[in-house]
Amino acid sequence: MHTQVAIIGAGPAGLTLAALLHRQGISSIVLERHDRTYIETRTRAGILEQPTVDLMHEIGVGDGITREGMVHNGFYVRFDRTTHHLDFTRLVGGHATVYPQQKLVADLVADRVGGGEPLLFEASVRSIDTTTDGARLQVQTPEGLLEITADFVAGCDGFHGVSRAHLPADSVREFERTYPVAWLGILAHTTPTTPEGMYCAHENGISVHSMRGPNITRQYLQVPADTDLGDWSDERIWDELTLRSASDDFPVLERGEIFDKSLAPLRSYVCETMQHGRLFLLGDAAHIVPPTGAKGLNLAVSDAVTLSYALGAFYLTGGSEHLDAYSSTCLPRIWKAQHFSAVLTETLHSLSADPLDWQLRRARLTRWVESEHEQSALGEVYLGLPFPSPW
Ligand code: FAD
Ligand code: DHB
């Protein structure tokens, strides 16, 4: 089987790339190791930047976002029992939209399948051999081993995928920080405590109070990295969320049925370069941000836009200059998101017992709430910097 672009992984990066290539008349095959139900129900991200939302509308997959997305102007921060709203929309324009990642994935899958374009589920890529003018992939499917040849390979297979290992070690520089904490995440049938998401900075650690609809909340607690979920009963989770979000200006947090619990590590990671020959890395395969600030999904979409332009230019003109510049085009925006995520993480989490650190964090939080300059700087990145343009 031959295609122009073999796409490994049907997450936001792979599916967005596939949609953008299809609209330029470039053929691709998407290979996903899980089944359709799994990827359409896996609870993960939920905050879309304005450029991500605009793109989904431009390519005709924005109906679900219009129907169910919750449009927010910014977020709340709470510390010293006092709540502050940061209204970024007023200062920088645009919005953040709450729309679950699995619904965006389902919308993109429906678009792909509806257009009759190949998307193989339960197809796990085992090996990639790249040559100067193409690549050969071995893919394990329920029917047996499948061989696919392609002009290019897009590694959209997440942090634990197979593609990154195919970059030669001497061409790669990796940057990594692993935080000693994780996020314990829940979904619950409760009413959101604030009309937009909220970060609470507390001496026990951050609590995050987000939502997935008017009656469903998504909340997170900072916990030690080696936490066992079994140690966290529903009651203990509610007690800790209530303690960390206690305030003098809002009603106490509502409790209800928890129907999903998960743990996610906090890590910053960038793989420079993001390409080798005919292989390109996108999204979590190339970089991870800690979840504070909700940038991961949006970066995956941004990489897909950059690679789709470069592939479009290649097939139109035969010139490879935009492909050659793929990493250097993506990386500045990735590093700005890394910086934003690190600043939010280090300001909002308790990562040290040193009282001086809390005073410094409180000073920064106070600047965020008192200075419109600070809010504009945060808001520009939170609502979404423009996608990179090589032209
Ligand atoms: P993925 O979504 O991981 O997709 C990779 C796909 O590749 C998977 O479906 C996988 O099954 C497949 N695959 C892997 N190996 C193979 C193989 N060998 N063969 C075939 N297929 C393979 N980001 C935000 O922007 N906003 C948020 O609010 C946010 N919140 C988050 C909350 C949590 C708890 C977590 C865990 C993450 C959050 N993120 C958030 C991050 C976001 O979910 C990821 O950055 C995003 O999923 C990256 O998309 P991707 O397409 O690069 O990778
Ligand atoms: C959510 C995720 C985040 O990473 C964040 O910073 C805020 C909200 C969410 O899942 O809604």
Question: Is 103 among the residues known to form the active site?
Answer: no
* C-alpha span between 126 and 275 (Å, rounded): 19
291 is catalytic: yes
- In this structure, which amino acid lies at residue 370? E
Amino acid at 379: G
Domains of the chain: 2-177+266-383 (3.50.50.60)
How far is the C-alpha of 389 from the C-alpha of 329, rounded, in Å?
7
**Tokens 């300059």 sit on residue:** 373
Q: Which atom of ligand 2 is nearest to the CA of 292?
A: 6
Q: Which ligand is nearest to the CA of 44?
A: 1
So what's the ipTM on this one? 0.95
Grouping H, G, I as helix, E, B as strand and the rest as coil, residue 338 is: helix
Q: Angle 358-176-334 (CA atoms, 0-180°, nearest 5)?
A: 90
Amino acid occupying residue 89: T
CB of 46 within 6 A of ligand 2: the answer is yes
Q: Are 368 and 376 in contact (CB under 8 A)?
A: no
Three-state secondary-structure class, residue 204 = coil
Question: Which residues have CB under 8 Å from 147's CB, separation 6+?
Answer: 1, 136, 137, 138, 139
User: Which tokens go with 176?
Assistant: 């990594």
Burial pattern 334-364, b for ≥16 Cβ within 10 A else e, equals beebbebbbbbbbbbbbbeeeeeeeeebeee
- What is the CA(199)–ligand 1 centre distance, in A? 23
Which residues lie below 8 Å from residue 104, measured CB to CB, with a gap of 6+?
Answer: 12, 48, 56, 64, 65, 297
Chain Cα centroid distance, residue 267: 13
Residues sharing a CB contact under 8 Å with residue 125, sequence separation 6 or more, in sequence order: 8, 31, 33, 137, 138, 139, 140, 157, 162, 163
82 CA to centre of own chain: 29
pLDDT along the chain (391 residues), means of 10: 97 98 98 98 94 98 98 98 98 98 98 97 97 95 98 98 97 98 98 98 98 97 98 98 98 98 98 98 98 98 98 97 98 98 98 97 98 98 93 60
- Give pLDDT, residue 389: 82
Q: Would you call 199 a catalytic residue per the annotation?
A: yes
pLDDT at residue 390, rounded to an integer:
65
CA of 304 to the centre of ligand 1 (A): 14
* Gap between the Cα atoms of 81 and 132, Å rounded: 60
Cβ 266 under 6 angstroms from ligand 2: no
Give Dmax (Cα) for the chain: 64
Rounded to the nearest angstrom, the distance between the alpha carbon of 11 and the centre of ligand 2 is 17
Atom of ligand 2 nearest to the CA of 212: 11
- The closest alpha carbon to 247, from 78, 36, 39, belongs to 78
- Where is 341: in which H helix or E strand? helix 326-348
Q: Active-site residue 269, yes or no?
A: no
